[in-house]
Structure 1
């Protein structure tokens, strides 16, 4: 059994790897076309790949000082304190670290404000955590909602966030992002051609209105690709395979520049007028996960491996304030061993989860984030999500779900005995569980776990089932920022030209997985990204 299980895991990893490679190849071709047609001019040397291995470019003129920092991916997330007379051969007004949704929104906003912008991305192509998500951004009071007859306000949205997190986040910080999100999406649509629409056929847990907005494929890959294309059209330079290894600060804390490393070992020192950290959180850093989220330390990590916590570590070295570092988004429905995200619509529309004993074990509808730990507590850390053809039809609008079907991860059965046989679940226990669910739905009752079934349609054959596990997706704690997304110190003063957005900044989910409201990650990516870009252009 163990050997078979390991073969399944390996097959899933290979399948997931090949799918990702195909998507990266398409993006690389697009990036390559862009680089040929619009060279970087005075930054042309950064594109060069022919430098000798290990060559270190000349440091900034007059550079001297000392390093301070903490452990990172390569052992240190360094901050070098520079002498006042230090200068750089090349200085860019606005530099953005990270080419996900947060970084690209920041770059677009800064470029629109008239600044020259360079985005540094450690991967061969812009992907990040955004590409691994469903690409859905919650926003209230948008024109798409009005067209669909949905009444919603930023205030109602803020109330939902605070209710989910039991009042833990700062209300002012919550109001900031809920106020900005709607106009930010309309700006992306009107100025940059992103074709958003609002999801109306189901509602995510904790939201009092349908406010999830997505692009046609309902995928994060499409979102990051459209943002990248918009940035390129706007004249933003994006340099891939550029890993920022150190920040350079003046004695007063102002950011002067950074060091970036290329795949051949070459290092460059680059000055900047303002710096936006959009390099997400620390989900890929096992040491930091063990420190802050020990319950998921050994869980599947479904985020981007580049999320090593540099933003938090750099901020710590600079004396910045950080908050809610234990906050995170988990997910209790990642297909196993296929490694494909299964949309939570399979639950919100009436599906249930059972463990390997055929028994339900929680109120699944409360939220997919906290469900990750509950699934992992079950035998072998596995569960089966059970739903029907009606729910599958709703879920099929998401590309990930279609991929799961194509991979054979979604099983189908015409009866409960057939379902038990397909899933290897105990037939008697499974039949008893589904009979109880049917009674609860018929009565519109609340079960012993606290799940309310009022208005939930019955599950009918043919049934669907997918074996799932719990996973860590991304962290929600981070650097504390103000209304301009400037990074703050513990005393409330700002580091004048340092900004943070997305997972690099403190989110609005509080300190627990249960505080995560669907979409909180991309909410702060888009909202804080735009704020950071606008302010960085002014600061530069």
Structure 2
């Protein structure tokens, strides 16, 4: 590149990178935006397009009173304070204003798309009309007419350090310099080698595990920053969705009418619980797995919504090819799956009594989701948290999106945002849309700070 002098270089053009470029250019910075894929948007474009926010115009229109203090308390509590409070506080304070910023750019989120996306009682999930496409398009559109060069099919090879500060990147065998660099290259979902080191919960699932995000998310940004002394935060964090291994189809929701038991033959949760919580609780069971048990009557009545693979005809097919185990009796099914037979029989008996009474006396699942388990043949699917939705281990940053070194000091002129970072994601995915929200919020913080630093 003949002209290799930019104010800010942004590595990665997903939600975080686009937000960073938008904010930096709005402040007059000249930006180089580098994207390894064919187009901008990254995993944000592939997402459901939910933004987790409080105190928004959409909430007020719906008559919902909410505020960042309550949002912060909820997030910290549900994650047992195993997150960086400063990052969570910044997120909550900026979530409302950042949502309005997106809406002002054209990301549409109609009133009917406001819903409870976490395990609290307040609707904080704001779903864009065209899902992730809306958010990515709005952010990319905001760059029109601004001083930004977007280079796709361009993978950064490393960071350039001069006099102790990050001064640019290496790309295509050349050095391109800037006053500040922002790493927003996504997570490492498409890098199984890094799973073993940074996300062992995913790695231990072996061949069953697969990743649903952008192919370009290989952990490049994490590794290049570690190479210059950056620290890592949030070991073994991310979101694993549960799967019966029927097919590589993304189905985050399991039918609530199933009866889940562990190897000991006992139920351990309300089967209709939010998938993010169910996945975390499942990890505490023997071998980190459970079994979805149901009978022939339930199979015959099964509908495609909310999980098409659990429709009656699909289940019959999976039973025929062995992906779904079946047996004439519960004792035989228990033997095949490795469950305590007597305990499974007792659990099914109690569950069936509750189903007929319309009251779940153990876990208080809604009566509409109760189905007796008493009419053979019986079916059992092994459920494991093995679909890697996103990774939450990454570069340690502070609330200003500055990358921190192993000495806990900011690496001068180096910022990061989005899935490349760690410390915000806790053991529980507390609200659907928090990952997209984190990318956009901290991308914007990083872009503003990088622009001010580089143009000072």
Q: After TM superposition, is the score higher than 0.5?
A: yes
Return the alpha-carbon distance in structure 1 between the equivalents of residues 353 and 433 of structure 2. 31
1:365-514 to 2 correspondences below 5 Å: 365=273, 367-368=275-276, 371=279, 374=282, 409=309, 411-412=311-312, 425-426=326-327, 429=330, 436=351, 439=354, 444-445=359-360, 447=362, 451-453=363-365, 455=366, 457-458=368-369, 470-510=386-426, 512=427, 514=428
Return the alpha-carbon distance in structure 1 between the equivalents of residues 81 and 288 of structure 2. 34
Rate the CA distance shift 1:438–1:130 in 2: closer, same or farther, 3 A.
farther
Other-structure match for 2:250: 341
The structure showing larger relative contact order (alpha-carbon pairs under 8 Å, at least 6 residues apart) is: 2
Bigger Cα displacement from structure 2, 470-479 vs 427-436: 427-436
1:45-60 to 2 correspondences below 5 Å: none
1:240-296 deviation digits (Å, cap 9, x = unpaired): 1000011101132x11111113xxxxx332111211111122232222211232232
Question: 1:96: how far off?
Answer: 0.9
Other-structure match for 1:528: 442
Bigger Cα displacement from structure 2, 165-174 vs 311-320: 311-320
TM-score normalised according to structure 1 size: 0.66
Rate the CA distance shift 1:179–1:385 in 2: closer, same or farther, 3 A.
farther
Other-structure match for 2:168: 257
1:22-421 to 2 correspondences below 5 Å: 89-190=3-104, 192-197=105-110, 203-217=116-130, 219-232=131-144, 234=146, 236-252=148-164, 254-261=165-172, 267-297=173-203, 298=206, 299-333=209-243, 336-337=246-247, 339-344=248-253, 350-352=256-258, 354=260, 362-363=268-269, 364=271, 365=273, 367-368=275-276, 371=279, 374=282, 409=309, 411-412=311-312
Structure 1: tracts of 5 or more residues without a match: 1-42, 46-88, 262-266, 396-400
Return the alpha-carbon distance in structure 2 between the equivalents of residues 214 and 151 of structure 1. 19
Rate the CA distance shift 1:376–1:530 in 2: closer, same or farther, 3 A.
same
SS in 1 for 2:229: coil
1:321-347 deviation digits (Å, cap 9, x = unpaired): 32112212111148731x232243x56
Contact 1:333 1:368 in 2 (8 A): no
Contact 2:118 2:430 in 1 (8 A): no
Return the alpha-carbon distance in structure 2 between the equivalents of residues 442 and 215 of structure 1. 41
Return the alpha-carbon distance in structure 2 between the equivalents of residues 296 and 525 of structure 1. 22
Other-structure match for 1:69: none
Question: 1:476: how far off?
Answer: 0.9
Return the alpha-carbon distance in structure 2 between the equivalents of residues 198 and 325 of structure 1. 37
Question: 1:506: how far off?
Answer: 1.7
SS in 1 for 2:123: coil
Question: 1:141: how far off?
Answer: 0.8
Rate the CA distance shift 1:250–1:377 in 2: closer, same or farther, 3 A.
same
Return the alpha-carbon distance in structure 1 between the equivalents of residues 37 and 396 of structure 2. 26
Bigger Cα displacement from structure 2, 495-504 vs 360-369: 360-369
Contact 1:335 1:341 in 2 (8 A): no
Return the alpha-carbon distance in structure 2 between the equivalents of residues 319 and 488 of structure 1. 9
Return the alpha-carbon distance in structure 2 between the equivalents of residues 369 and 433 of structure 1. 23
TM-score normalised according to structure 2 size: 0.77
Return the alpha-carbon distance in structure 2 between the equivalents of residues 176 and 103 of structure 1. 18
Structure 2: tracts of 5 or more residues without a match: 334-344, 373-379
